[in-house]
């Protein structure tokens, strides 16, 4: 799909957006497709085609995936970040470094007008693609930043929206990355409290310290923070390509950021990782942190992320907000201040006048939140739903990105009926979080997997 980079002047550079349409597989498909909005910002929706090819939504509806401007096609705003099989340490270093994004800006600015890659332009591209494909009304599905893009699409093109599903909600009020520290602390507190109340978890991660008595998981986390306060720790991890052990270093900042990202995927492994670190073995944590950080760095076009967040989020963050939202958290203010420093020289995207206003339109919207989500916890689903006359907010026991038979049944009912009124959400009351992972008898932890939305 060819669109103007500058949609207002309709002059200059044309962008090629990749588009994938997965036709409905049923014999009598509905005319309203599902358009997929990817996360990040910076994820290319078309890279998820295999995931959606066998999705249950496709039985009744076409699935449409579009590479949002800046994420793919001939206009991917890619920045080379530290981290590779030859440099595992790079995956544990901060992402937002001026020495990384300065050269990236020079390269990208030679090819693109970086003021044109905000969310408003992107959703107008998507609407233009809808018109070109001949669809009338459409259904929207997106997670994390994808939910922000959905809300902006609803704001700008409400007459085309039949229903919208927002999974892990990041409304306009969610200032990225201001609330990362609060969200991660909130999720960790829930995990520690639940482990302490679970006899199996509490017993498995109880340590007897000579002269100090028993130490439980909360004390173990405090012990890890105390050690990291004294300086970085060194540990060894397995290099996946050479199959040899290599040394890496974990600072308090890199530990905190890795823990935040690990909690995206699966809260159940967190007590194990904390327990091992408190006993002096940071290798398990480092391996999980490298894997989680690698996934994000390989997935996102960080140039596009900055085009969105610098103007749409960072410019609204004040010093008072930083002190209030990061104080007393294990993550602290490092992430937001580093991103601020990069945004100080990154070009600003052009924004419409209502960009900071909540979306209040009367469109059927299902909002899904995870109780243990470390980045978009339920407070943001509640905030967005409070402005939506037809908003239905459902909180499940998961982390970032809700799914499973119960949630699928709720989404299916919304899609089938075209409304959130009267939708049966009773199955959520019977859901429970997955059990905590406990050490094997030989002390090893089973492998875990996850997906970032």
CB proximity list for 285: less than 8 A, separation 6 or greater: 250, 255, 258, 259, 273, 276, 277
CA distances from 55 to 58, 111, 206 (A): 6, 37, 42
Question: Residue 102 and residue 98: Cα distance in Å, rounded?
Answer: 6
What is the per-residue pLDDT across 223-279, written as a single tens digit (0 to 9) for each? Answer: 999 999 999 999 999 998 899 999 999 999 999 999 999 999 889 999 999 999 999
What is the per-residue pLDDT across 170-227, written as a single tens digit (0 to 9) for each? Answer: 999 999 999 999 999 999 999 999 999 999 999 999 887 766 667 899 999 999 999 9
Residue 213: predicted pLDDT = 66
Residue 215: predicted pLDDT = 81
Strands 19-22 vs 63-66: parallel, antiparallel or unpaired: antiparallel
Residue 442: predicted pLDDT = 39
Question: Residue 254 and residue 95: Cα distance in Å, rounded?
Answer: 10
- Asked whether residue 283 carries a pLDDT value surpassing 80, the answer given is yes
Question: Residue 299 and residue 306: Cα distance in Å, rounded?
Answer: 15
Write b or e for each residue in 371-406: b if 16 or more Cβ atoms lie within 10 A of its Cβ, otherwise e. Answer: bbbbbbbbbbbbbbbebbebbbbbbbbbbbbbbeeb
What is the per-residue pLDDT across 92-150, written as a single tens digit (0 to 9) for each? Answer: 999 999 999 999 999 999 999 999 999 999 999 999 999 999 999 999 999 999 999 99
CB proximity list for 106: less than 8 A, separation 6 or greater: none
Sorted by where each begins, the domain ranges of the chain are: 2-82+111-175+353-430
> Do 439 and 445 contact (CB within 8 A), yes or no?
yes
pLDDT-above-90 percentage for the chain: 93
What is the per-residue pLDDT across 69-96, written as a single tens digit (0 to 9) for each? Answer: 999 999 999 999 999 999 999 999 999 9
- Asked whether residue 306 carries a pLDDT value surpassing 80, the answer given is yes
On average, the pLDDT of the chain sits at 94
First-to-last C-alpha distance (Å) of the chain: 25
| Model confidence, pTM | 0.94
> Do 297 and 308 contact (CB within 8 A), yes or no?
no
State the average pLDDT over residues 400-415: 97
Sign, Cα dihedral of 320, 321, 324, 326: negative
| Residue 431 CB coordination number (10 Å) | 16
Question: Residue 172 and residue 269: Cα distance in Å, rounded?
Answer: 31
3-state SS, residue 362 = coil
Does domain 2-82+111-175+353-430 correspond to CATH entry 3.10.20.90? no
Question: Residue 177 and residue 192: Cα distance in Å, rounded?
Answer: 24
């Amino acid at each position: 799909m060819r669109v103007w980079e500058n949609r207002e002047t309709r002059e200059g550079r044309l962008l090629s957006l990749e588009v994938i349409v997965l036709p409905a597989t049923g014999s009598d498909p509905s005319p309203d497709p599902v358009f997929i909005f990817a996360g990040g910002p910076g994820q290319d929706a078309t890279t998820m085609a295999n995931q959606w090819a066998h999705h249950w939504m496709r039985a009744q509806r076409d699935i449409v995936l579009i590479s949002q401007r800046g994420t793919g096609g001939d206009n991917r705003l890619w920045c080379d970040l530290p981290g590779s099989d030859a440099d595992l340490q790079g995956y544990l270093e901060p992402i937002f470094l001026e020495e990384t994004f300065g050269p990236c800006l020079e390269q990208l600015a030679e090819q693109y007008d970086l003021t044109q890659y905000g969310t408003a332009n992107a959703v107008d591209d998507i609407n233009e693609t809808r018109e070109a494909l001949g669809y009338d009304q459409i259904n929207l599905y997106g997670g994390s930043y994808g939910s922000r893009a959905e809300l902006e699409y609803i704001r700008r093109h409400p007459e085309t929206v039949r229903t919208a599903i927002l999974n892990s909600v990041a409304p306009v009020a969610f200032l990225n990355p201001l609330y990362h520290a609060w969200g991660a602390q909130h999720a960790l507190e829930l995990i520690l409290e639940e482990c302490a109340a679970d006899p199996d978890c509490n017993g498995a991660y109880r340590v007897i310290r000579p002269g100090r008595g028993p130490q439980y998981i909360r004390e173990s986390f405090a012990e890890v923070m105390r050690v990291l306060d004294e300086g970085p720790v060194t540990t060894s991890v397995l290099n996946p390509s050479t199959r040899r052990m290599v040394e890496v270093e974990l600072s308090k900042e890199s530990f905190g950021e890795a823990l935040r990202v690990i909690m995206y995927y699966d809260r159940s492994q967190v007590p194990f990782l904390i327990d091992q670190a408190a006993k002096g073995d940071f290798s398990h944590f480092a391996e999980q942190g490298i894997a989680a950080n690698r996934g994000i760095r390989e997935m996102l076009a960080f140039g596009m992320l900055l085009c969105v967040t610098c103007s749409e989020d960072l410019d609204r963050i004040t010093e008072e907000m930083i002190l209030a939202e990061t104080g007393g958290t294990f993550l602290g203010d490092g992430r937001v201040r580093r991103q601020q420093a990069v945004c100080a020289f990154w070009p600003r995207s052009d924004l419409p006048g209502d960009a900071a206003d909540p979306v209040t339109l009367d469109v059927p919207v299902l909002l899904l939140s995870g109780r243990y989500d470390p980045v978009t916890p339920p407070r943001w689903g509640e905030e967005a739903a409070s402005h939506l006359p037809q908003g239905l907010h459902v909180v499940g026991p998961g982390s970032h990105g809700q799914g499973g038979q119960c949630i699928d049944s709720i989404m299916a009912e919304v899609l089938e009926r075209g409304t959130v009124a009267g939708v049966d959400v009773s199955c959520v009351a019977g859901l429970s979080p997955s059990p905590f992972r406990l050490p094997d008898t030989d002390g090893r932890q089973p492998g875990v997997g996850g997906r970032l939305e």
